[in-house]
Amino acid sequence: MTSTVVYLAILAVAAFYGVNVYNALVSLRNQYSNAFAQIDVQLQRRYELIPNLVEAAKAYLSHEKDTLSAVIAARNQAAGLEKALAGNAGNADAMAKFAQAEGVLNGALGRLLAVSESYPDLKADATIADLMEELKSTENRVGFARQAFNDAVMAYNIRREQFPDNVVAGLCAFHRASLLEIPNVEAREPVRIRMT
């Protein structure tokens, strides 16, 4: 009888521990999902600004149609992949595709901004200047939101991989989450916006 009580006590402690680990992992997974939702808010703002900037620049850059088209195409691809990822920030394959699309968009925006440097009238236009300032502000917000997301993913992954939590994580199918690392397909420098 004593061994049965000890066995049941050990089983109860193990079950209690398992439930606590499970709940902690659910909480951390929800935190990184929420952090991605914050990125989503800033990216939607960015995706709305880009067509306005391209439209305003068209009058000055009519002979740069390829550059303008590349920006819009890259924006549309990134926005479509971001929408698909928004509901499942833990999908590693979707995260990788999205990160690649964001890298292409950053490269296209970089080319647009480099071309715009050659046109003093474009840089002097108040609408363009306002849109560029909004884009610069949004890029900063995206960076901060991405950092918060990556911090939340790291906390989740650490907890998921620690022993003995990794046993519960494995049994309950808590998969590794992917960081959001945006490759710059053109260069490793961030998009720079100059107002002068």
What pLDDT, in 10s, does the model give residues 89-141?
A: 888 888 999 999 999 999 998 888 888 777 777 777 888 888 888 888 998 99
Neighbour-count burial for 71-107, b at 16+ CB within 10 Å, e otherwise? beebbebbbebbeebbeebbbeebbebbbbbbbbbbb
- Domains contained in the chain, CATH given: 2-171 (1.20.1440.20)
- List the single range of 18-27, 40-49, 50-59 with lowest mean pLDDT: 50-59
Of residues 125 and 145, more confidently modeled: 145
Model pTM?
0.79
The DSSP call for residue 186 is: S
pLDDT above 60: residue 78: yes
CA dihedral angle for residue 149, residue 153, residue 159, residue 161, rounded to 10 degrees: -170
Q: How many CB atoms lie within 10 A of CB 152?
A: 22
Mean pLDDT of 34-45: 92
pLDDT above 70: residue 55: yes
Amino acid identity, position 90: G
pLDDT above 80: residue 75: yes
Tokens representing 67 are 């550059």
Instruction: Check residue 187 and give its pLDDT.
Output: 44
